[in-house]
Amino acid sequence: MSQDSPSFETTPGPSGETHQHVPNGGPHDAGLAHLTTNQGLRISDNQNSLKAGRSGPVLLEDFVLREKIFHFDHERIPERVVHARGHGAHGVFECTRAIPELTKAGLFAETGKKTPVFARFSTVAGGAGSIDTPRDVRGFAVKFYTDEGNWDIVGNNIPVFFIQDAIKFPDLVHAVKMEADKGYPQAASAHDTFWDFISLMPEAMHMVLWQMSDRTLPRSPRFMEGFGIHTFRLVNGAGEGHLVKFHWKPVLGIQSTTWDEATKIAGADPDYHRRDLFETIERGAFPQWELGIQVFDDGWAMEQPYDVLDATKLIPEEVVPVTIIGRMTLDRNPDNFFAETEQSAFCPANVVPGIDFTADPLLQGRLFSYLDTQKSRLGTTNFHQLPINAPRCPFQNFQRDGMMQMGVPHGRANYEPNSLFEQGEPTGPRECAETGFVTFPDAAQRDDSCARLRMRPELFDDHYSQARLFYRSQTPVEQSHLASAFVFELSKVDLEHVQQRMLTRLAAVDMDLAHRVAKGLSLPLPAPAKSAAPVFDMDPSPALSILSAGQPRMNGRTIGLLFAEGSSRDSIERMRDAIEAQQGRVVLVSQKVGLQEVRDGTLKADAKLEGSPSALFDAVVSIIPPEALSALRSDHTAREWFADAYAHCKTIGACPATLRLLGEWGIAADDGVTNLQDFPHVAPARHWAREPRVRLLA
């Protein structure tokens, strides 16, 4: 092979997969000796444009300049409409239980089979530049690079969804995004249009209870469940089919933050989740999830009081247990965020033999939408506004924005249904059954079972039973959080009729929940909304509760340790050893950074107190000498550090000097304020009995 011929070499990655390197294919390749243009021409000067004389004008013939500026001008592509803010990692999936009796998919054919994966975690509502910790559903998408092609599980950290039919998805997203006339709020659902829409869509009630729960305030993707949401079908080699739902369960367990923590983390570190995942993998503490399946047949599904193809419903794990069949380990960060994470394209239509779809109407819409979404990022959705494509008759709908938008829509509402009015008239166009297009029925369609209908099965009409199941499956602490979240969100809604309508929906779910929210809003408690189907009680499901699983382990947690000049290095080292023995991590915090004189030597702080609020840590411990009290006593940041940890119900490990300081500040001792000896055994437990003393709960 000649010296100038292209050559390729492969090197093994952390997961055992190989990565191809093209010597002249990338600007950061270690083997590239010469800077070149995109055509491979070596560049002699990358610092100066070509000019007509030393002081003359730049010449148009400077192709090096033109190529460089041209590429720079087009570096950005449109961000995703939803799930725009995301972060991902590479890894490997290992089949831990072969299931050839259920599916002929090769990645499940034999125990020990390993498959490379790429996973992306995201928020839903915010843009690419928003924060990591809003109250929001989280995307949980995994791409399997199987031997038979790519298979994508494109889901969320919640097993159900807001809507039953994909035709309502644009309305849902329009309603939750920034309001059309204001352009805010960003990455928040606590505003009029979202709750106006939700209050008009009773099918969303199950989902909004999940949304208002602590599930939408995850501690990190590492502590987050994932769900395929829909019912899919597994097909074995004999052509036999079984229905299935997919579950991702974090090995470290499920953990969340409180609302106050989430808001303070957003200010201290808007990239908190992205940083946590990246740095955890860099440290070699690779996060893992187990893949589980709920498997059942069509006959069983037909006997249930809900439709398993309804995306607003789940199957309790106590009824159909989750069987673990594999484990995913994320062990390598992307080399380039744009090239890998931003350009990753997931689609639920990407399947392999042995995995098939069902008639879930939300899934069917996604099968089209995702491919179309990826293509739209390379062009425009508004091609129909070009003169050659534009209709010659009037047209109006709630489709909005996009590249090359030449219309100027006005008004606040860009979704339907809505109850907003402008000058006394309903906002926007409405459907018309009398004059609108209706599909012509074929003569062969003799009954509803095979007819093409714009209808939903009768069992889809029950919007409240599983919402009630979710609420009543929560612990009292979680129910208080959930009700308080509704109060906060609805307090941001200026339309009282929307607040009242939401209260009727909540009353149909549970009167205790509705009473709490109504009291928090100082509004009268209305009668429950009428349900289109009977509402029935289901046995509580402990699997739906975070706190029912017990207090968290130290494994994977981060502890903030406050020290000062004169602190005992021996005590600090013993505390760090005790925490690390339980696979926790210690961050040394002080009023100053750099090396400090402590008893028995020197110690370097990892972080400055002013820039490291206790909201960043799962528990805090303080080892300070009496002579440091004066400096801490006059430091508002120090007082806030302890007060926030106490208000967030975290364990506080306190030396005698710290106990004295807490007493001066009126921070009452309780079971969660421990001595140094007991701290490693108690942290990072939350002490929820403290919460009513530090915040107003609904």
pLDDT at residue 414 in the model = 82
Q: Kindly state the DSSP code that residue 342 receives in the 8-state scheme.
A: I
Tell me the pTM: 0.83
The question of whether 21 is a catalytic residue gets the answer no
Distances (CA, A) of 339 to 138, 344, 408: 22, 8, 34
pLDDT of residue 406: 75
Is residue 327 within 8 A of residue 334, CB to CB? The reply is no
Contact 135, 485 (CB under 8 A): yes
Catalytic residue among 21, 46, 71, 156: 156
- Are 307 and 348 contacting, i.e. CB atoms less than 8 angstroms apart? no
Amino acid found at 393? C
Alpha-helical segments (H) within 339-464:
361-376
Phi, psi of 571 (to 5 degrees): -65, -40
What is the pLDDT at residue 338? 80
CATH 3.90.870.10 correct for 553-694: no
Task: For residue range 207-262, list pLDDT tens digits in order.
Answer: 999 999 999 999 999 999 999 999 999 999 898 999 999 999 999 999 999 999 99
Q: Which entry of 21, 46, 74, 83 is annotated as an active-site residue?
A: 83
pLDDT over 70, % of the chain: 90
Distance, CA of 591 to chain centre: 34
Q: What is the pLDDT of residue 423?
A: 62
- Look up residue 158 and give its amino acid: I
Give residue 13's pLDDT: 44
Place of tokens 């809900």: 306
553-694 and 86-160+218-376 share a CATH fold? no
Inter-axis angle of helices 496-509 and 465-473, to 10 degrees? 80
* Calpha distance 467→622 (Å, rounded): 43
C-alpha span between 251 and 265 (Å, rounded): 24
Residue type at position 347:
C
Could you tell me how many residues make up the chain?
Answer: 698
Residue 83 annotated in active site: yes
Contacts of 23 (CB under 8 A, 6+ apart): 6, 7, 9, 29, 31, 32
What is the CATH number assigned to the segment(s) 86-160+218-376? 2.40.180.10
545-571 pLDDT, tens per residue?
999 999 899 999 999 999 999 999 999
Could you say which residues of the chain have pLDDT below 70?
1-32, 378-393, 403-404, 423-426, 435, 437-452
List the chain domain ranges.
1-44+63-75, 86-160+218-376, 553-694
What value, to the nearest 5°, has the Cα angle with vertex 266 and ends 262 and 269? 120
pLDDT at position 380: 67
